[in-house]
Amino acid sequence: MILHAPASRLQFLDTGELQLESGRVLERVTLAYETYGTLAPDGSNAVLIQHALTANSHVAAHDDADEAGWWGPMVGPGAAIDTDRYFVVCANMLGGCGGTTGPASASPGDGLPYGSRFPGVTLRDGVTLEARLADHLGIAAWHTVIGGSMGGARALEWAIMHPERVERLVVLAAPAYSNADQIAWAHTQLIAIESDPEYCGGDYLALGRSPENGLGLARRIAHLTYRHGSELDTRFGRARQRTSRPGERPEYYQVDSYLDHQARKLVNRFDAGSYAVLTRALRDHDVTRGRGGLQEALGRIQAGVTLIAIDTDRLYPPAQLEEIDRALPSPPGVHTIRSLRGHDGFLMEHDQLAAILAATVFA
């Protein structure tokens, strides 16, 4: 099950067996990825872009006829991440539904979707898999590993797990660990999905069921943490939705309609089991696990570090980037993007982002 990953340029690496951090083993793991630009003969120009919770490897269009990517204005010839100069790689996270092995994939044993049999994975498991892709592509060290939100957390793990393979690290709107607030928001979303009777304990695909209500509700909750209250109020206020659709009551507000639209969009492009697996992976994100304290964990990093916060981010507030900064051996400071968009500013404030990247990693 590959959802909305344009198949034309999607590439697959069969990586064989993967031993997970938990000790469990996944057989025959496939990693889906896309590349943009050309790798320099000395392999020095490779940039790894890490996607967020529900995105995929399609970070940008490959040509004019191609579908837009989730960070389109940031990546391309002459763009902030310039594919005329850099070889850009974006891989779908382990457990996702954009081509990489996940709960909706066929299990090697019986060919049925993994469903409830798919094991819990961690962001570190994702990095382990992606290191195989770097080997495959002949990339000894990434010029830059960059990501926002879950992608930022994964980028951070890359620089800690493989310090010698990451020359520059950009962490955007992401923490060193998910704190109690973020664990709690994840909890509400997991309950929304898993208490939908259509979820069937995770085996809905094999049973021909579809937990759309649960996934849609999880997305609505998540989306509210992605945006900022005053942005929503500026855009929608108390305006009612004016439609003539039957059954629509007068108290249906425009912001309700907006949230319902966000929910429908996700339900149409994303797998509920992947959402649960990745939500747990992000919830369990903690660079200190098994590494002592925060300074010890972050002290492993050899990359030059760029930290970027969004001032209105109510999911990962700037204080969490400042915490990373303070714990680094040479605190680089935190760049702040000013945005009305809240956390989602990392997907939208391209100009500010481009300026920061031009002044730091791509200087």
Number of other residues whose CB lies within 10 A of the CB of residue 19: 11
Whole-number Å distance between alpha carbons of 299 and 214? 40
Whole-number Å distance between alpha carbons of 341 and 333? 22
Residue 292 binding a second copy, by CB under 8 A? no
250-289 binders of a second copy (CB under 8 A): 251, 253-256, 259, 280, 283-284, 286
Locate 216 and state its tokens.
């849609």
Residue 295 binding a second copy, by CB under 8 A? no
- The answer on whether 271 is annotated among ligand-binding residues is no
Which of 87, 118, 185, 346 forms a contact with a second copy (CB under 8 A)?
185
- The answer on whether 219 is annotated among ligand-binding residues is yes
Burial of 206 from C-beta contacts in 10 A (0-12 / 13-18 / 19+): middle
Whole-number Å distance between alpha carbons of 277 and 102? 8
Residue 39 binding a second copy, by CB under 8 A? no
Amino acid code (one letter) for 181:
D
Count of residues in contact with a second copy, rule CB under 8 A: 43
Under 8 Å between Cβ of 76 and 115: no
Based on the residue annotation, tell me whether 313 is a catalytic residue of this protein. Answer: yes
Active-site annotation holder among 149, 178, 274, 339: 149
Q: Whose structure tokens read 């990247």?
A: 357
Residue 314 binding a second copy, by CB under 8 A? yes
Task: Give 99 or 202: the residue with its C-beta nearer to a second copy.
Answer: 202
Under 8 Å between Cβ of 55 and 70: yes
Whole-number Å distance between alpha carbons of 64 and 82? 16
8-37 binders of a second copy (CB under 8 A): none
**Least Cβ distance, residue 253 to a second copy (angstroms):** 5
Among residues 357, 349, 359, the alpha carbon closest in space to that of 47 is found at 357
Number of other residues whose CB lies within 10 A of the CB of residue 23: 7
Stretch binding a second copy (CB under 8 A), from 66-74, 189-197, 265-273, 328-336: 189-197
Stretch binding a second copy (CB under 8 A), from 79-87, 157-165, 176-184, 303-311: 176-184
Specify binding-site residues for substrate.
Answer: 219, 344
Annotated catalytic residues are: 149, 313, 343
Interface positions with a second copy (CB under 8 A): 120, 177-181, 183-185, 187-188, 191-192, 195-197, 213, 216-217, 220-221, 224, 229-230, 232-233, 235-238, 251, 253-256, 259, 280, 283-284, 286, 314, 317, 319
